[in-house]
Structure 1
């Protein structure tokens, strides 16, 4: 009797293990399919010279952000002083609005901050806002679009009404209001951007999903008894990944530009150095009137380079997903 019970338990254990292995294999096949789709489009994307150069620019800024403590010559929010040796530091004079020299590679601000160090550390803020906002907006938009497009009916109506409501709000003014209410913090800016930016991705992915769910391979999966999540993850998601990446690359550029604009009007995080806060400070101290171009030109150039690179990468990918644009 004991042997029969042990044998029965062994059979059920083997069945459970087989089910677990099958589930693991399904996930492995799903991720392999996603990886192959991305690999194929990556090869097509890197054929464009403008895209290659843009990727090099973005990679360069990422390396600067990672190694900022080693590249910067001073702390970004530490005042620098000049004076004769032996004089106590309280009597030293802040090197206000100094031009570039061997000590301060891009000069100093009116408060004695080293501009080069602020520029280097500002890269971190720009990429943090751009990447985090883009990842979340692309992810949320893709998930909402897939669910709305696949299920249709009341689910689609409910989700699209939310999207329509958000489309009635202009992006930048609404983000400014949200940041003003939540407080001038970098994460509040990211949160405000996420709340509004996913709407465009959701609408496009939903349109694609409506078309894909009528394709023969989806109908065949339904007849074979595949579950909803299996169909969405294995058959719909890999086919909409190109549009997810496209809107993600545009989202990075828009987020960086939005953060710079919000910081420029004085709603940036006062405890974090960003290119937008640098421009705001230069405006507040009338750097243009004093001819201190070294204060506002470098962050403006960096914003332009990173935003244009993001748009060029997105544009290159758009030509892959829509050959008519070539």
Structure 2
């Protein structure tokens, strides 16, 4: 098949690399325009562009695909299929009609659960026991197209969104490899999504990362996991911000007020609205991430209150 691949971030790299190892021809890669990155704000190519360039694949970076000249360019490539993975642009109806076999998207959830921008983080926040990858045809509505294939995985105890992201990226590549033969022959039966089962994964907001110590410890643990590596859970400590990278809910109770650091040796345990949250890895502004036991070598927090004053 003649394949056009559209993707931008690291999540899209494993499926692209998988396609490079097949007998199919990747005739072009579409990705977001280079963006400023790093302290020097130097224009930096996307991870997908870096892989495509290394393999001498033509790269196109239109700011949108609404312009007729950009659509004509894609049409001239005569793609059999357009594979889309976290591309970051909305595809107009005219673009969806170009590939002979349609446009296939890799989505990081078990649709129709968690349509939208942040399915990995929202599944962790919700305490889902499992998640996975859904391959679907793209249609104009958000993540609402007919489903082609699903691949499921368990969410591990204390697994962060970042760790789950990396596993799902690989799972997406595996799922795409498994469905390619049927896609090519047309031996595929799309399944319409059940609209009654739809949930939406809203974009993450930085304000969500501020820990509310009146919440149960288990919910706070999920927030810490879901917001690692971005935006990172945080709490106020004295006159500064303490970021919390890793934490674990303990199956015990505490009589102290929520946010109180318990009087314990070598552990950073905090009373919550229900239960105790053990902070495992923390970070102060301008400093490195450190294990809580190392942090306690430099600071004493016993009986102090974390969080903003009521």
Coarse TM-score class (shorter-chain normalised): under 0.3
For the pair shown, the structure with the greater C-alpha radius of gyration is: 1
Higher helix share: 1
How does the TM-score come out when normalised to structure 2?
0.23
Q: Between the two structures, name the one with larger relative contact order (CA 8 Å, sep ≥ 6).
A: 1
TM-score by length of 1: 0.22
